[in-house]
Structure 1
């Protein structure tokens, strides 16, 4: 199942920099592992924002929820999920 996910990160300004850096390092490692597994298919930065659009290919809604809620930055994110279906005019 394919999902387009927009993640807007909102780290509190009063979070100590060292703690924020540690969370971001864990986030990077986790996201890269999911990319290597093929579950996180694409990751694009939104220009001028602390946000991204990502494409996930997972078995179910529940799997996606589990993966997203395990993101180290999850407590600081606003997430919008859009389920995708193959377009009949697509040649891919």
Structure 2
């Protein structure tokens, strides 16, 4: 199942920099592992924002929930999820 996910990050201003940096290191490692596995297909930064648009390819709503809630930055995120399906006019078989 494909999902379009917008993630807006809002780290508290009073969080010590070393704590924020450690969370970001764990976030990067986790997200890159998911990308290598094919579950996190694409990630794009939104220019001028601490936010991204991503495409996830997971087995179920529950798996997406588990993936997202395991993100180290999850407690500091606002997340919007849109389920996707292949468009009948697409010429790419890999859209499924």
Structure 1 residue runs of 5 or longer lacking an equivalent are none
User: Are 2:51 and 1:34 equivalent residues in the alignment?
Assistant: no
* Residue aligning to 1:69: 69
Give 1:1-92 correspondences, 5 Å limit: 1-92=1-92
Matches of 2:29 and 2:54, distance apart in 1: 16
* CA RMSD in angstroms, aligned pairs only: 0.3
Matches of 2:40 and 2:85, distance apart in 1: 17
Structure 2 residue runs of 5 or longer lacking an equivalent are none
- Which aligned segments of 4 or more residues in structure 1 are displaced greater than 2 angstroms? none
